[in-house]
Amino acid sequence: MRNVVVCLVLMIGAPVWGEAPPHELVASANKALAKGAYDEALAGYEQAAKSLPDSPELAYNRGVTYYRKGELDKATEQFTKALLTRDLSLEAKVKFNLGNCAYADALKKQSDLKVALERLGLAIGHYKDAIEANPEDRDARANMEMAQLLMKDLLDKQKQEQEKQKPASQPESQPASRPESQPAPASRPESQPASQPSAENQQKKQAQQQDEQKKDQQAKQEQAGKPDQQEQSKDKQGAQQAVPAELRQMSKEEADKLLQAVRDKEQQRRAEQARLLLVRPVPVEKDW
C-alpha cells in the first residue's frame, strides 16, 4: 500500500495523543502503522484530525490503515475523502488505492459473479484514472491488467453457468401454428338438385364408362412392367420413420455415463480455475 511519506518522530513509551502537536501525532501513528499496530495508528490519526479535520493526508493515512485491517468499506470512504487534495501526486496515489480496494473486494465476492464483475469494472476505472494522473505509474498498469484478466475469467465462468441452466438437447418450444382461415374457392359450385337422366344422357354415360374401363386396363398393363409403387412407398415411409442412432432415447446406463463425464469435466475445470487463482499475483502494494 502506498503511504504518504511523513517524517517519523521516535517517542519513548506509549504515546500520549493529547499532549503532542498534530505533526508528532501523525509521525507516531505512522510508526504504529508500520509495525502493524493498526488500532494504535487509528487512535493517533483520529486525535490529529481534531486539529486538522479536513486534511486529505490524514484521510489517506486512515485509508491505508483500514485497508491493511481488511475493512475495505471504511478504507474506500477515507480514500474518497482524500480526493479533495490539490496535490496531484497524492491524487494519483489515492486513485491507485481506490482501485486496490475495489479489486480486493472483487476477490472476496467471487461467489456472486454479478457483484464481483461490478467491483472489477470499478477497479479498472480507478487504475485508468491513476494512470491518467501519473502516466509513469507502472504499478497501476500492472494491476489494471490483472483486473482485466480476472474479469475475463469470471465472464467465462458466468457464460458457462448460463449455458448449464439451459435444457440440454431439447428444442425450444414453438407456438403451434394455427391455419389461417381460407376463403372458399370462387369456382366452387353450389349443390344442385339431381335431375332425371334422359336416354341420350344414359348412352353418353355408358360410353364414358367403357372408355374408363379401357383406360384402367391399359394402366394395369403398364403397371405390370414397373416396380411395385406400393412397396416403394412403404420403403420411403420406413426411411422417413427411421430415427438416427444419435437421436434414439438413451438407456439409463448411457445417460449415467454421459452425466458422469460432464461432472468430471466440470470438476477438472474448477480445479484448474482454483489453481490459476492461487498462482495469480496480488495487486502491487508498496510504501512511498
User: Domains in the chain and their CATH numbers?
Assistant: 17-163 (1.25.40.10)
What pLDDT, in 10s, does the model give residues 187-207? 333 333 334 445 555 666 677
**Full-model pTM:** 0.55
Residues 104 and 99: their CA atoms lie apart, in Å, by 9
> Does the pLDDT value for residue 278 go beyond 60?
no
With left for phi above 0 and alpha for psi between -120 and 50, is residue 79 left, alpha or beta?
alpha
**In whole angstroms, what separates CA 253 from the centre of its chain?**
34
Grid cell of 280 as nine digits: 495469480
> Does the pLDDT value for residue 55 go beyond 90?
yes
**Structure confidence at residue 165 (pLDDT):** 83
Residues 1 and 36: their CA atoms lie apart, in Å, by 13
What pLDDT, in 10s, does the model give residues 212-229? 777 777 776 666 555 455
**Structure confidence at residue 63 (pLDDT):** 96
| Residue whose C-alpha cell is 394402366 | 219
109: which residues sit within 8 A by CB, 6+ positions away? 115, 116, 119
Q: Which of 127, 59, 76 is nearest to 283 (CA)?
A: 127
Q: 211-234 burial string, b = 16+ CB within 10 Å, else e?
A: eeeeeeeeeeeeeeeeeeeeeeee
